[in-house]
Amino acid sequence: DKFNQGMVDTAKKNFGGGNTAWEEKTLSKYESSEIRLLEILEGLCESSDFECNQMLEAQEEHLEAWWLQLKSEYPDLFEWFCVKTLKVCCSPGTYGPDCLACQGGSQRPCSGNGHCSGDGSRQGDGSCRCHMGYQGPLCTDCMDGYFSSLRNETHSICTACDESCKTCSGLTNRDCGECEVGWVLDEGACVDVDECAAEPPPCSAAQFCKNANGSYTCEDVDECSLAEKACVRKHENCYNTPGSYVCVCPDGFEETEDACVPPAEAEATEGESPTQLPSREDL
């Protein structure tokens, strides 16, 4: 990839002298020159990339031979260098030591609906790992929850069913062949089962049941969030607990039978002396 990018980066360059026409006529064209090759090679590896530099040193003669003698006959460097010469890769759509065609053919492996094991490498077995919704050796069949919206000799497209369908022939809940768990057939359509309305209830007495499409959840009752207050004393805080709740006065408040008294009010109340009755002499 970096070699190809180097070719792009140097495509509009020349020898760099003042008389380009003379230079190219006398020194041969820069486009196919060894000077251009050296500029490309210099940009292939970072100085700190030991593995890249080691590979470049080992294969430099191959690259030079391709550049000076074989480029016109084999214009695809990857195909000539990686596949045919070094034999470390395969062309796209092929796999394994002998670069055999993937299942479904090298042009559209796995019918375009999956990934071929070992695609482009000398490894793998060419089998298909299908994308979501597809199954079968060539990924042309639809999984449960999907239906075939297009199928011909070259293409197969599977589209997701409505969430209520386990199998289907179309997009809506009226196209179900079989309902999913949590749904039931009613007048030709798969509709949600309200598990919360069942007898006996699915949740414990300390929980409330919340229905959902195809399912339900059991959640703790939060008495503190009910419209009718669970803690009725003035300034009192309510804290929910599993299956119950507690009522607590805020820090610093004085607790009485009918209220949580703020600190300032409590101090004022304590500072008041009882009213003194008049003496007999005063009367």
* Claim to verify: residue 103 and residue 78 sit in the same structural domain: no
The SS3 call for residue 111 is helix
* Claim to verify: residue 72 and residue 112 sit in the same structural domain: no
Residues 6+ apart with CB under 8 A from 6: 39, 40, 41, 43, 44
For residue 16, pLDDT over 60 is answered with no
The count of domains in the chain is 3
Tokens linked to 114? 């999956």
- The answer to whether 46 touches 52, Cβ cutoff 8 Å, is yes
Taking alpha carbons only, the member of 88, 145, 153 closest to residue 121 is 88
- The answer to whether 152 touches 143, Cβ cutoff 8 Å, is no
State the CATH number of the domain containing residue 241. Answer: 2.10.25
Residue 64 is assigned to a structural domain of this protein: yes
Q: Which of 10-14, 161-165, 260-264 has the highest mean pLDDT?
A: 161-165
pTM: 0.64
| Lowest mean pLDDT segment, chosen from 177-181, 225-229, 277-281 | 277-281
What would the pLDDT profile of 194-225 be if each residue is shown by its tens digit? 999 999 989 988 788 999 999 999 988 888 88
User: What's the CA gap between 44 and 210, in Å, rounded?
Assistant: 61
What would the pLDDT profile of 38-96 be if each residue is shown by its tens digit? 999 999 999 999 999 999 999 999 999 999 999 999 999 999 999 999 999 999 999 99
Q: Left if phi > 0, otherwise alpha if psi is -120 to 50, otherwise beta: which for 105?
A: left
Residue 271 is assigned to a structural domain of this protein: no
Alpha helices in the chain (DSSP H): 2-9, 20-27, 34-42, 50-65, 77, 263-271
| The residue to which tokens 């209830």 are assigned | 201
Residue 78 is assigned to a structural domain of this protein: yes
User: What's the CA gap between 238 and 248, in Å, rounded?
Assistant: 7
Domain that holds residue 9: 2-85
- The residue among 119, 134, 160 that closes a domain is 160
Q: What is the pLDDT of residue 266?
A: 60
Report which DSSP code applies to 188.
Answer: T
* Claim to verify: residue 35 and residue 100 sit in the same structural domain: no
